[in-house]
Structure 1
Amino acid sequence: MVLVVGVDAGGTASRAVVATADGTIVGRGSAGPGNPTSAGVAAIASIGTAVRTALRGHDPATVVAGVAGIAGVAVVAEPAIAEAFDMQWAELGLTCPIEVTGDAVTAFASGVPAARGAVLIAGTGAVAARIEDWRVGRTADGLGWLLGDEGSGLWLGLQAVRSVARSWTSTPDGLAAKVAAHAGARSCDELVHWAARQHPAAFAALAPVVCASDDPLAARLTTEAAARLVGTLHELGPSDGPVVLAGGLLTEPTPVRTAVLAALPGEVATARDPAAGAAWLAVRRALNLDEQEAAGLHRRMLR
């Protein structure tokens, strides 16, 4: 049996699938954060764990190709990270070509079988990318929490904490009460001290809290997040293909997704399973499928 591996590695988790050449997914695995920009070499270990779990019960020698979509992919070119990847694939028993690409490519591929278009991702971070022949062309944002990632889950959670801290009252209510409870804070000082102890990515855990709140502050923040995400997408210029929405804020039924959809004309699709999208790319390239064959495989794998 001929197999392929697909990987989706982001700031929150790493996911892997193993699929047959006809598009049947026969293995899945997940592990911790897989963005080497924020997690360093530990990200490669997480990716390895996810792939190892997905491969359980299968002979690695039967894997003929793999595609790994990784957030922070530019760091993979650094010698220490590249060496760690080579060692990880060898430890897994994989001797086939493994193409490492940006998570924007695999997210786009999980939404549509088209070769060109754009993808807008809002998960822990946020980025928009032009996709050209299943490769990243121009990008916008994706600059990390300190310099950008505007409208992302991390941005949304951090803005909520900042707003609550600035307007702290002795008896917080609404969203402020939920933020305080999340932090275990009974005073503004305690909230400040809690925030200072957090890893930046931890603020993304507050994004679902904001999205679920009917507080006016939550509405203002989600509206602003959507506006910033749409602005990031518009930095790419007019799209010559479909736009794919990806990442938890834009694939789940959140107010951010609703506002973004309302602002976008033209064809808009939703990313399904980026790890499966990566596996689809691996099959398409390994078997050199034509456009019609690739579209049929896409329907089977990502319906």
Structure 2
Amino acid sequence: MKTVKIGGVPEHFNLPWYLTLKNGEYKAEDINLRWHDYYDGTGAMCKGLRNGDIDIAVILTEGIIKDIIEGNPSKIVQTFVQSPLIWGIHVGHESKYNTIDDLKGTKAAISRYGSGSHLMAYINAENNQWDLEKDLHFEVIKNLNGAIEGLTNGIADYFMWEKFTTKPIVDEGVFRRVGECPSPWPCFVIAVSDQFIENSESDLKTILDIINNTTKDFKAIPSIDKTIANRYEQQLEDVQEWLSITEWSQKALSESIVSKIQKELLALQIIPKTVDYPSLVHRVL
């Protein structure tokens, strides 16, 4: 049986992977798919792909594009979630800041440089016409627990993370959400190391066929809203809102979207150059 290592954030977006693993669908195809939770997010997964700790990552689009351009020997093989990610902009409950405008020039908590929380701080700054050199400052806090500590203790001033993942922390009165910032492109893609593509493309196709078969009918699974609410300790109405705005995909990331993302990242000086489509995307046949 072929062992394949895959990583992703332990969030509701990735429940289809959990369900297919629980059902033994990969083992039925002689594939031992081993899931690894990455609490530290995109930057940690990029490192995992580079080091060979994982073969596949379910990862933020802008983060993996940046890292491939910087030398990560991997390719995007398809879009996983087509809809934008809704990033909540959070402050500590006792913070003196109440609006996004108040945060201009303050310190953003980020999981690591090159992470989604880092890159989206630039998108938010651009949306609000901030000076990208003068008005952005960062404090590395590693993960969500680090952000809770950092914002509560005043080490950093605000933190951007997926809105529905952080909603329970807002409900508990630890964070306050002062705004939102949707990603201007499909939020999650499936990225695969070049070595795995070269050596195991048939296994990769099998894995993609299984997960795509589940995501295309995911919302129709009976009581899926209750399953998500229980597993991820969220309010049922929050899960229902999230499901209403979230769309999975079974298709390749288009050339036009890749071009748009690169232009945006280049304008923000997040990437040093743009590259051609085949350098970033591999279409599995």
Give your verdict on TM over 0.5.
no
Structure of higher RCO (CA pairs closer than 8 Å, 6+ residues apart): 2
TM-score (norm 1): 0.28
Answer with 1 or 2: which has the greater Rg: 1
